[in-house]
Amino acid sequence: MKKQEDREIRERIIEKGNLPRHIAIIMDGNGRWARRRGKERIAGHQAGIEAVRDTVRAAGELGIEVLTLYAFSSENWNRPKNEVFALMRLLRETLEKETEELKKNNVRLRTIGRLDRLPAFTLHALKKAIERTSDGTGLTLVLALNYGGRGELVDAVRQIVSDVEKRRYGVEAVDEGLISRCLYTSGLPDPDLLIRTSGEMRLSNFLLWQMAYTEIWVTDVLWPDFRREHLYQAIESYQSRERRFGRVME
């Protein structure tokens, strides 16, 4: 996309207002992208990094507050061992290579998911990147790693039950606000817009509680081919929608 055209679209989007504060993305189709080229699945994941890079930059330039990427689900452990290992290595490599760029763009990195099951080398790179970007005041980039929405709710219920047992608060204190604060996403606004690539129409156990009123935008584009112009399309579609949250609009 030409620089001039890019700037014009961005200005149009910003001028329209009503930007999504939080965009969540299910990055799907890496395997299919690779298969169509006669390559190994991991080549699709590798190519997906360029899509991540362009999307993060564009989201930052638009002034989006939070971008959450579903990088590894709790179900993804069921993939072939070598694919899982390659993904973990790719994650480490990418964090090591890109942290400076994130810092330069004022991005703050954060994660959601049960990190304790990640290999030590990935966890180490992750902690370092989080620490080094902790003073970022622009886009919050959230990586969902070993994340599952049901598992997240289980963790929240356990914490609440334990707090009640310890008499930190009573059962009557349990409400939607408390539950939200006990999720991994505590402190973040709920996603306004969910983008899913490669044409699948599923939530796949992603942010189940948080996406109660999220607008969904699905594209047939496979994740490695996803670029800022697709992000712009999704946002412009979002801006044209009427969100009623169950109410009636006069």
Chain residues that interact with ligand FPP, rule: CB under 6 A:
27-32, 41, 45, 48-49, 52, 69, 71, 76, 90-91, 94, 143, 198, 223
Question: Structure tokens of 116?
Answer: 């304790």
Least separation in angstroms between residue 18's CB and ligand FPP is: 27
Helices assigned H by DSSP within 22-173: 30-36, 41-62, 81-104, 120-132, 149-165
5's enclosing H/E stretch is helix 3-16
3-state secondary structure of 121: helix
Q: CA 154 to CA 122: how far, in whole Å?
A: 25
Identify which of 60, 39, 42 has the alpha carbon closest to the alpha carbon of residue 228: 60
The catalytic residue among 76, 105, 155, 205 is 76
Nearer to ligand FPP, 72 or 238 (CB): 72
| Cα 107 to Cα 189: distance, rounded to the nearest angstrom | 17
Q: Work out the angle at residue 82's Cα, subtended by the Cα atoms of residues 118 and 128, and round it to the nearest 5 degrees.
A: 30
Report the C-alpha gap between 230 and 241 in whole angstroms: 17
Report which residue's Cβ sits closest to ligand FPP. 31
Nearer to ligand FPP, 197 or 214 (CB): 197
Question: What does the block give as tokens for 173?
Answer: 């204190």
Query: What minimum distance in Å lies between the beta carbon of 167 and ligand FPP?
Result: 41
Give the nearer residue to ligand FPP in terms of CB position, either 70 or 238.
Answer: 70
CB of 63 to ligand FPP, least distance (A): 21
Q: Measure Cα distances from 83 to 89, 136, 212 in Å.
A: 10, 32, 32
Q: How far is the CB of 203 from ligand FPP (least distance, A)?
A: 14
28, 30, 146, 190: the catalytic one is: 28
Q: Which two tokens stand for residue 114?
A: 């049960």
Q: Give catalytic status of residue 192 as yes or no.
A: no
Q: How near is the Cβ of 227 to ligand FPP at its closest, in Å?
A: 14
Nearer of residues 28 and 192 to ligand FPP, judged by Cβ = 28
Give yes or no: 28 in active site: yes
In this complex, which beta carbon is closest to ligand FPP, that of residue 69 or of residue 234?
69
Q: Which residues participate in catalysis according to the annotation?
A: 28, 76
